[in-house]
Structure 1
Amino acid sequence: MYYNNNTQIYLDGTFVKANESVTDLYGQTLHYGYGVFEGIRAYATENDTRVFKAKEHYDRLKNSAELINIPFKYNVQELVDATYKLLEKNNLTNAYVRPLVFCDPNMSLARPNKVSIMICAWEWGAYLGDKQLRLTVSFYCRPHPRSIKIEAKVCGHYVNSILATNEAKDKGYDEALLLDSDGYLAEGPGANFFFEKNGVLYTPQLGNILPGITRATVLELAEKLRIEVKQGLYKPEVLVSADSAFYCGTAAEVIGIESIDEKKFRKEWKDSLGLKLQEAYSEFVRKSEKTLSKIHA
Structure 2
Amino acid sequence: MAGYDDRDGKIWLDGKLVEWRDANVHILSHALHYASSVFEGERAYNGKIFKSVEHSERLQASGKLLDMEIPYTVEEIEAAKQAVLDANGLTDAYIRVVAWRGAGEDMGVASSRNPVRMAVAAWTWGAYYGDAKMQGAKLDIAKWKRPSPETIPTQAKAAGLYMICTMSKHAAEAKGCSDALFLDYRGYVSEATGANIFFVKDGEVHTPIPDAILNGITRQTIIGMLRDKGITVHERRIQLEELEGFEQCWLTGTAAEVTPVGQIGDYTFTVGDITRDIAAEYEALVRA
TM class by shorter chain equals over 0.9
Aligned equivalent of 2:240, options 221, 236, 243: 236
Structure-2 residue corresponding to 1:53: 51
Structure-2 residue corresponding to 1:292: none
1:84 maps onto 2:82 in alignment: yes
Q: Where do 5+ consecutive residues of structure 1 fail to align?
A: 288-297
Aligned-partner residue type, residue 154 of structure 1: A
Matched position secondary structure for 1:38: strand
Aligned equivalent of 1:36, options 38, 49, 53: 38
Residue range with higher mean Cα deviation, 33-42 or 125-134: 125-134
Matched-pair contact (CA < 8 Å) for 1:70–1:111: no
Structure-2 residue corresponding to 1:291: none
Structure-1 residue corresponding to 2:274: 273
Structure-1 residue corresponding to 2:12: 10
Matched-pair contact (CA < 8 Å) for 1:69–1:111: no
Q: Where do 5+ consecutive residues of structure 2 fail to align?
A: none
Matched position secondary structure for 2:282: helix
Structure-2 residue corresponding to 1:295: none
- After TM superposition, the score normalised by the length of structure 2 is 0.94
Residues 54 and 211 of structure 1: is their aligned pair in 2 closer, same or farther, counting only changes over 3 Å? Answer: same
Displacement, 1:4? 5.4
Give the paired residue count.
Answer: 280
Measured in 1, the distance between the counterparts of 2:25 and 2:79 equals: 24
Aligned-partner residue type, residue 286 of structure 2: V
1:125-174 per-residue CA deviation (whole Å, 9 max, x = no partner) reads 12112231111211111112111000101111111100111111122222
Aligned-partner residue type, residue 58 of structure 1: S
Matched-pair contact (CA < 8 Å) for 2:136–2:261: yes
Where in structure 2 are the equivalents of 1:124-135 lying within 5 Å?
Answer: 124-129=125-130, 130=133, 131-135=135-139
Displacement, 1:5? 5.3
Structure-1 residue corresponding to 2:163: 159
Structure-1 residue corresponding to 2:120: 119
Measured in 2, the distance between the counterparts of 1:69 and 1:111 equals: 10
Structure-2 residue corresponding to 1:136: 140
Measured in 1, the distance between the counterparts of 2:6 and 2:128 equals: 21
1:202 maps onto 2:206 in alignment: yes
Matched position secondary structure for 1:157: helix
Structure-2 residue corresponding to 1:25: 27
Aligned-partner residue type, residue 219 of structure 2: R
Where in structure 2 are the equivalents of 1:178-257 lying within 5 Å?
Answer: 178-257=182-261
Matched-pair contact (CA < 8 Å) for 1:192–1:212: yes
Matched position secondary structure for 1:152: coil
Displacement, 1:223? 1.6
Aligned-partner residue type, residue 273 of structure 1: I
Matched-pair contact (CA < 8 Å) for 1:5–1:17: no
Measured in 2, the distance between the counterparts of 1:87 and 1:4 equals: 18
Matched position secondary structure for 2:222: helix
Measured in 1, the distance between the counterparts of 2:125 and 2:23 equals: 22
Q: Matched residues, percent identical?
A: 34
Displacement, 1:206? 1.7
Displacement, 1:111? 3.8
1:63-94 per-residue CA deviation (whole Å, 9 max, x = no partner) reads 00001101222110121122112101101111
Structure-2 residue corresponding to 1:109: 109
Matched position secondary structure for 1:145: coil
- After TM superposition, the score normalised by the length of structure 1 is 0.91
The root-mean-square deviation of aligned C-alpha atoms, in Å, is 1.3
